[in-house]
Amino acid sequence: MSLQYALELFGTFFFAISGALAIQEKDRDHDWFGAGFTGFVTAIGGGSLRDMILGSYPLVWVGDINFIYSIIIGVIVAIVFYKYIVGLRRTFILFDTLGIAFFTVLGVEKSLKLGFRPEVAAIMGMFSAVMGGVIRDTLTNETPVIFRKEIYATACLGGAICYLLLDFGTSLDRNVNLLVAAGLIIVIRLVAVKFKLSLPALRR
Amino acid sequence: MSLQYALELFGTFFFAISGALAIQEKDRDHDWFGAGFTGFVTAIGGGSLRDMILGSYPLVWVGDINFIYSIIIGVIVAIVFYKYIVGLRRTFILFDTLGIAFFTVLGVEKSLKLGFRPEVAAIMGMFSAVMGGVIRDTLTNETPVIFRKEIYATACLGGAICYLLLDFGTSLDRNVNLLVAAGLIIVIRLVAVKFKLSLPALRR
Amino acid sequence: MSLQYALELFGTFFFAISGALAIQEKDRDHDWFGAGFTGFVTAIGGGSLRDMILGSYPLVWVGDINFIYSIIIGVIVAIVFYKYIVGLRRTFILFDTLGIAFFTVLGVEKSLKLGFRPEVAAIMGMFSAVMGGVIRDTLTNETPVIFRKEIYATACLGGAICYLLLDFGTSLDRNVNLLVAAGLIIVIRLVAVKFKLSLPALRR
């Protein structure tokens, strides 16, 4: 099992947990199906949209049943350990940050491997990471995560560009590029949350 | 004309009516175009998403013009008989229930016929049935139907699993499996509405 | 460079500006990333959805990098000239009207060229024009543009049908058809805005 495959399954598992929990912030008495559905959509949304845009079939989770089981386990973990997990806002942010970091670099790698240009790969890396959460937030009538205050999708875009620079500009091993770029996303995101950093606003 | 094809056209027709009427619950002075658009999106949304996820082209309504005409007739019926239909909440729920029952089993069948695994087929069956309504509700800023109180998508998932058990576990005729599974969805849904049944909620 | 290609790049540029500005109406202190994201989604959403529905790969902006650069330039123009542009409500409507007019006729042409039926081509022309804005409005929790009062998507549908009548009923040059149909959309839309025209509502 390659590093890439392991990260992808772990990212899916983390996203399913964060998706299953996310709706609880808004609507306390949501049912199990709702938790499962938002967990599923959060976990597969970004990668599915990427693959449907790129025309890469079968979609990852359709072709490899392990992804569906990662999601089911993640949702069960979220439901069973709900009262332990839900108070841990920091744990939640950490899971989500690991998820977006892995998904961004894997999305960039997949796009390049399919022969697309680096500009497209950067956008697709970011989409892989953030669009699952955007779809989840849209369905639950929340303001999508990418429009909220702290730096989020911009960290993914930064990590994607970092990966592309390492890939085209150096001769380092792919796994090194992958870990450096993912690490950059994690650092940017956690520093942004810690110090409440946001991008400049448009003002008149 | 096969039973499957007839059910698919009828399901499309019912979904177009329910979609055209749905927006009226919220916004009384919606215009004809809005009714047509939500009718169209409700009728084709679930099946289109299923086919785009599975990479099955052309999409049903793109390849067979009868579906577009079923929708147009459904929308016209909804507009012309608006004042007669809109008061009939039970009729509306019945149309919607027939629609989700037929679409679920047809979605499972199509996924299996395309060679996908039963786990994927079950999810795609449910998606075919409920995602049209989810897209409609998202566009009109309603809480999506699947997150509301009474059992809805779970009934579809139950019917999809019933179909798969009959298909893999018995040697009954396909049409029998189809009608038993659709019947189960209709019974679960109508009993849930009647007795206001819902799944257990996540609580601390 | 053909007329069609030039119009498509210009339409993309105008849509990116209108998308980057649109969110400002609601949420004054939106950040640069949000402006870029809504600009991007507005510009590519309609055409991408059309191509994903028709199974036409690669999507326009994925296969031709000029579209990404048109969007980036549009977003930068919107950010830099923000305080000059945002007060000009009429300019904004004009840009948006040019965008929907060009995208409708180009969407019809592309669908016909891919061999789809005129009914499908008319719907896809309208989708190309309006769905970018619909996705933008859904993400930002606005009422989608097509459900608002004045005639909007109906103008696109009218222009699409006009193009089809000219194409199948006359032997005029393609570029003439294109400009007449786009002109019709522009006239209908501007007259509707000027005189606050809307379609009849559904009433009991």
CB < 8 Å from A in window 124-153 of B? 134, 138, 141, 143-144, 146-147, 153
Report d(CA C15, CA A7) in Å as an integer.
37
Q: A92: which 2 tokens? A: 């939640």
* Structural contact between residues B164 and B121, judged by C-beta atoms closer than 8 angstroms: yes
The answer, yes or no, to whether residue B171 has pLDDT greater than 90, is no
Q: What pLDDT, on the 0 to 100 scale, is given for residue B25?
A: 56
Report d(CA B62, CA C81) in Å as an integer.
42
pLDDT in tens, B11-49: 899 899 888 887 655 555 567 888 899 999 999 999 999
* Burial category of C173 from C-beta neighbours within 10 Å (exposed 0-12, middle 13-18, buried 19 and up): exposed
pLDDT mean over A118-133: 95
pLDDT mean over B150-168: 93
Distance from CA of A73 to the nearest CA of B (A): 14
The answer, yes or no, to whether residue A85 has pLDDT greater than 80, is no
Residue C198: name the closest of B28, A13, B33 by CA.
B33
Regions of chain C where pLDDT drops below 70 = 1, 23-30, 86, 89, 149, 201-204
pTM, two decimal places:
0.91
Is C23 in the B-facing interface, judged by CB distances under 8 Å?
A: no
ipTM here:
0.88
pLDDT in tens, A69-80: 999 999 999 888
Average pLDDT of chain B is: 87
Task: Spell out the alpha helix ranges (H) of chain B.
Answer: 3-22, 32-54, 60-63, 65-80, 82-85, 89-113, 118-139, 153-169, 174-194
Q: What pLDDT, on the 0 to 100 scale, is given for residue A82?
A: 78
B66, closest residue in chain C (CA to CA): C119
* Structural contact between residues A7 and A106, judged by C-beta atoms closer than 8 angstroms: yes
**H/E stretch holding A56:** none
Test the A interface: residue of B147, B154, B188, B199 with most A CBs within 10 Å: B147
Whether A29 and B203 lie within 8 Å, measured CB to CB:
yes
The answer, yes or no, to whether residue B51 has pLDDT greater than 70, is yes
For chain B, list the contacting chains (3+ Cβ pairs, <8 Å).
Answer: A, C
Q: What pLDDT, on the 0 to 100 scale, is given for residue C27?
A: 52
Q: Which residue has the higher pLDDT, A184 or B171?
A: A184
Q: How confident is the model at residue A4 (pLDDT cuts 50, 70, 90)?
A: confident
Q: What pLDDT, on the 0 to 100 scale, is given for residue A33?
A: 86
Distance from CA of B83 to the nearest CA of A (A): 30
Percentage of the residues of chain B whose pLDDT score is greater than 70: 92
Sign of CA dihedral C71, C76, C77, C79: positive
Q: How confident is the model at residue A19 (pLDDT cuts 50, 70, 90)?
A: confident
